[in-house]
Copies of this chain bind each other. A is one copy, B any other.
Amino acid sequence: MLIEDFKLEKWINSREAITKIDLSATCPKALSLTELTKITGEDFSKMLDISLNYGQLHGTNRLKQAICNLYENANLDRITVTLGGIGANYLVLQTLVNKGDKVVCVCPSYQQMYTLPKTFGANVELFFLKDDWTLDIDQFKAVVGDDTKLICVTNPNNPTGMNFDLTSVVEVAKSVGAYLFVDEVYRGLNHSGYPYSKSAVDLYEKAIATGSMSKTYSLAGIRLGWIVANPNIIEQINSNREYNTISISALDDYVATIALENHEKIVERNLKIILENKKIILNFINSNSHFSWVEPNAGTIACINFDYDLTSEDFCASLFDKTGVLTIPASCFDMNQNFFRIGYAMDSQMLQEALNLISDWVRKTY
């Protein structure tokens, strides 16, 4: 069974090798263990003596406890550990979706969230946010029905970088008894106030949340994600998990444990980068009247609107061809609007350089 092309991945893969500056990347500057030692004080040479057997299949208890601490009401029975956020999302969708189910996905979103339910035979309805990236709750209520099995959301949202208030979405899910699945891989990077929003699982018994080390914790090379849900759902997921996972890297389990036990410090480091870089983008937008954005309030990504008479794909393809700056067109999110997604939690100088290249290119060309 061939799954539909993953548009974003295809877009990146065909260009990655010849990219000059990669604004498609969504992770804050990646950490090494040496840098993680500076942040946490941990001596990672301990890992040399870990016995490299399968270990605890669903993650060590110490790791699962560190994950629990990111939620209000989690405990070890409500957690399983997976191959990154993508493995977490895969298992949730594979387990919950049956042929013929009605699934509503709030879009734009990470393509996995709606293509996989389609692949598993669901009737999938894409419910799009408004142009200001807010959700029209009345229209949403009208779309979700008693026959809705599952509502899928990414929050903070990918690609918009907007953090929803989930309360009204939860109310709609509750009113029809639907499962609410929220990909929360950008959670913990709210730009103002306390960095963590309430997780869906702390609002609703039938909510499932996924998280990972990649975005909020700058450790995408540590392939470790997780699922939080009520124990009954976790048990079902773990039963399917035996067919594609067994266990997670023993080294990654250890590194993730230390990182999550020090999550405030990593989040502080990342928010510093993010907030500085947001200023750089604001400056770019303020000095280029053809560009605008709905300012993101969380995470590491943003959508930049342009007013040139070009499709998003043509815009991003030309930009790449002429400057080597890689961005993601709206078309990769199944949208016709004129925007492109950037990740902006990279090295500040590189970001500035990329934006300069964009400014120069549009000035010369249009």
Contacts and interface: CB of A to CB of B under 8 A. Distances in A.
A33 B48 contact: yes
A361 interface: no
A55 B30 CA distance: 10
Interface string A96-138: 0111000000000000100110011000000000000000000
B33 A50 contact: yes
A65 interface: no
Interface in A49-80: 49-55, 57
B116 A53 contact: no
A247 interface: yes
B221 A54 contact: yes
A251 interface: yes
Interface stretch (A139-147, A238-246, A328-336): A238-246
A34 B48 CA distance: 5
A219 interface: yes
Which of A52, A99, A112 has the largest count of B CB atoms less than 10 A from its CB?
A52
A311 interface: no
Nearest 3 A-B pairs (CB), nearest first?
A221-B250, A52-B221, A30-B53
> Number of contact residues on A: which range applies?
35 or more
Interface stretch (A86-94, A155-163, A279-287): A86-94
B49 A246 contact: no
Contacts of A49: 32-34
A112 B221 contact: no
A5 interface: yes
A13 B240 CA distance: 14
26 contacts: A1-B94, A1-B98, A1-B99, A1-B120, A2-B240, A6-B239, A6-B243, A9-B242, A27-B53, A31-B52, A32-B48, A32-B49, A32-B50, A34-B48, A86-B244, A87-B245, A112-B243, A115-B243, A116-B243, A221-B249, A221-B250, A223-B223, A223-B252, A249-B249, A249-B252, A251-B255
Nearest to A27: B53
Given A44-B48, A252-B252, A84 B246 contact: yes
A224 B118 CA distance: 29
Contacts of A218: 52
A83 interface: yes
B221 A86 contact: no
A105 to B, nearest CB: 15
A280 B165 CA distance: 64
B6 A221 contact: no
A236 interface: yes
A54 B221 CA distance: 5
